[in-house]
Chains A and B, each alone.
Chain A
Amino acid sequence: MKSASKKERIAQRIARELRDGDYVNLGIGIPTLVANYVPAGLKVIFHTENGLLGMGPYPFEADIDPDLINAGKETVTAITGASYFSSADSFAMVRGGHLDLCVLGAMEVSERGDVANWMIPGKMVKGMGGAMDLVAGSKRTIIAMQHTGPDGSPKILPECTLPLTGRRCTDMIVTDLGVVRITDRGLVLEEYAPETTAADVARATGAPLDISRARPMDV
């Protein structure tokens, strides 16, 4: 399976976590793709932290407006019933616990749900943007990422080695290899991807993984 379609599959699987009426913030990259797979009949309202609740799809070319973007700096649209607000109000929504779900990418996740996704010391300095507020304030946080790094090294670890975005802030990790839930008793593999096995996923994971209840991913 090509990596593009694996990314689509991650997004598709996360979309099944959406509930009717959820207010949802999607991060940049794979998380953005989740919007393409909202199950039919479900009304989900997308929040973008630069100040829009009720973000719609990309505009038609003729309707592009430089005054209307998402937090990824992409031109977007607003749905009927949308609202605009300041960054202070936007983060009151986030920090105040009004957001049902945020989906973010990550470079590392620890077995307790710590997330690192904003900095590689000495190499990459981009900044945390809204990620620290989102993981601290959302009712649920799902991480969307590749299960391992480009060299095959695990990204799910006993402890993160990179500077943290937040501690104990992840509920679930969805990767190209499977669905991992973070529980008080450690990592639990709930589903594994069609072309893999539960044992393969455990080998690609840098921390103990309970695979006793794992079943094939249904996508």
Chain B
Amino acid sequence: MPPQILSAAEAVARVPEGASILMGGFGLCGIPENLIKALARHGTRNLTVMSNNAGVADYGIGLLLAAGQVRAMVGTYVGENALLESMILNKQIEITLVPQGTFAERIRAAGAGIPAFFTPTGVGTMVAEGKDTRQFDGREYVMERALGADFAFVKAYRADRMGNLVYRRTTRNFNPMMATAGKITIAEVEEIVPEGSLDPEAIVTPGMFVDIVVRGEVYEKRIEKRTYRTTDRA
């Protein structure tokens, strides 16, 4: 079924208390910023958020953390959010840290109907504690389980009315896997275009994975580290 087209406020109103949500983005790049803002405004609590990072104190997922809406967080690197780091050290939030490639693959596996897989990442470290390990061709691997969620909030550049998504530059990151792994996937986009406007060869997320499309109203696209050069030398 082609996706519904809703406003950010209408879309996040579907998320119940206690829901788990996959949120795309790497740092602040490619995050569903309008959906996050709407969810903060809506005030839904007791959430489990699964995202590579946790935003910064006053933007992105940081808004949900600061408002006390997040019960548990699954991510790979939370160093940019000082608030979260102190919440972890003071045990105010349940945190699970996952190696980034394992995080990506667990989500991909969930969307692809694969319950578990073996990876060399993390063998012999804390990450492998309590998990099954197995030798294949003389090397040890650790078993990791698929990671899906009740909802996926993804950010794409454009959607057509079929829900097909294309991304821009490095905003793609975790968004395509997450789109496949949410029971309900909400795609926030900068522009909704008619069917036929997107090159079928270039579509990254086919519309089948997308339940709701939201056109983001305002894009701040905050930059974490604004680095630039002034001469031709790198």
Contact = CB atoms under 8 A, between A and B. Distances in A.
B126 A129 contact: no
B170 A127 contact: no
Given A50-B173, A167-B125, A74 B76 contact: no
A137 B120 CA distance: 8
A87 interface: yes
A86 B175 contact: yes
Given A74-B225, A125-B88, A166-B124, A50 B170 contact: yes
A127 B76 contact: yes
B37 to A, nearest CB: 16
A197 interface: no
Given A66-B29, A167-B125, A91 B169 contact: no
A87 B79 contact: no
Interface string B148-184: 0000000000000000000111111111110000000
Contacts of A69: 26-27, 29, 170, 223-225
A136 B78 contact: no
B28 interface: yes
A50 B24 CA distance: 12
Nearest to B221: A66
A175 interface: no
A208 interface: no
Interface of B: 26-30, 52, 75-80, 85, 88-89, 95, 97, 99-105, 107-108, 119-127, 167-177, 204, 221-230, 234
Q: Which 6 A-B pairs have CB atoms at the shortest separation, nearest pair first?
A: A91-B101, A126-B79, A57-B234, A133-B101, A167-B124, A66-B221
15 contacts: A61-B230, A67-B171, A75-B228, A86-B173, A87-B101, A91-B105, A94-B101, A95-B105, A95-B119, A124-B85, A125-B78, A128-B97, A129-B76, A132-B127, A167-B123
